[in-house]
Structure 1
Amino acid sequence: MTRQIPVIVNGAAGKMGREVVKAVAGAKDLMLIGAVDRDPRIQGQDVGEVCGLEALEIPVLSDLESVLAAAAQEPQLGVMVDFTHPSSVYENVRAAIAYGIHPVVGTTGLSTAQIESLRAFADKASTGCLIIPNFSIGMVLLQQAAIAASQYFDHVEIIELHHNQKADAPSGTAIQTAQMLAELGKTFNPAAVEEKEHLTGARGSLADEGIRIHSVRLPGLIAHQEVLFGAPGQLYTLRHDTSDRACYMPGVLLSIRKVLQLQTLIYGLEKIL
């Protein structure tokens, strides 16, 4: 039988982290070997019980490096899934690569410069790394539909809506969607009038090639995105809505299995489908 893939979940007590723990614990080819979270209220508790499962005999620890060091001693190559915070994700990923652990990163907020730095570090270490702004297959399909629509529309804006505990804006998914459209080499939204904002930010943030991104943060939301294309007499709207974080888990599990086959950093779920 193929040996199980050792997996560490960093940010195990967060909303996404708990779902990942459940998904990994339920996958026959994966083996949860570590759970990391900085929440002092749950230190030392069994991560299975924290996540609403039966005891998994894995305590929640706060020291990522000690967990990475232990994982590096496993006979099988290991994976770290990171759903933490924009302020710590860069160092988390560097630490994992340094220990020979393959990162699968769902935390957004990394800058382009940070991603390129991590790419160079992963290349030097010949260690695969996946940075995935959105693990939903539906979002990949939306982005592909947006690319197709951009051939026929010159005006486009992106609206992303998330829960009010999301720390970064715009979302990594919205930024990635704008980047994918910008890479087509087309400038969008030619000016019809000279615009003036009476309140700073009223027109959203300005990405490459004239694409505007608007961010909404409200309790009651999970993760949602619209891409609106406009032309005289018509509006074409693409929308993806998340109602349960479980929808991301097939993409997470696929990424865990795929990252061990890589020796460099890959950005975006669509690259491994």
Structure 2
Amino acid sequence: MAFDSTAHYVATDALKQAVNAAILLERPLLIKGEPGTGKTLLAEELATSLDTQLVTWHVKSTTKAAQGLYEYDAVSRLRDSQLGIDGVENVANYIKPGKLWEAFSAEKRVVLLIDEIDKADIEFPNDLLQELDRMEFYVYETDQTVRARHRPIIIITSNNEKELPDAFLRRCFFHYIAFPDRDTLQAIIDVHYPGLAPRLVNAALEIFFDLREAPGLKKKPSTSELIDWLKLLLADELAQETLHSPEPNEALPPLAGALIKNEQDTHLLERLAFMLRRQGR
């Protein structure tokens, strides 16, 4: 059941080893990396390659660990009791299973994605330790224990917005997705746009890496943004001509809004271009 690159996802050897090691150890795989480097897509492609279901738990700043287990709607039950609705005596009617419950009760082994875990409160990871270790949890309202029928493959992503607790990290297999080098980016482009003219790809990659290396840039363009930019270039012949024959007075590449996402970086690049012109470059 070894994971490999797919028709839509280019995985480095290090990433393949990390995925397969986590599966072998039956540990959650904690994935970090720049936004746009394919952390979430990894879980999607892993589920596809294993021909199984993907259960996705998108974590927000307000998300609590207990919501991944289940939620008891006491308010609805009280309202229904006041209205005399049938079934109110059965508390199970007011229990909403969470994503862990869904993954635990699946008929076959699934991939469970806990996406952007660092968005939640610092205690969120610790509150899941026992459930992820034992693969079970207790439902107090119905006096039942929910156990995993098949241990899910767990992928946890983080954008490093906050540090995760040591006790949680100890239970994970960790991998950092480094930003792709030029050859890997070329392979990623080939997956999305096979047969793309080498002249266009080379020109786009030159500009892309120049932008990423610009000193002081607040947000460097990501892999996913490069793919979006290429899609726009393919649909705009005038932009392609500008790309191949750049004017020295142009501070930004054509359709730069796909790559540059804030006004600070726009102004920075304009200033850098102005300074280069003054130096006679």
TM-score (norm 2): 0.28
Say which structure, 1 or 2, has more relative contact order (CA 8 Å, 6+ apart).
2
Give the structure with the higher percent strand.
1
Would you tell me which structure has more helix in proportion to its own residues? Answer: 2
Q: Which has the larger radius of gyration?
A: 2
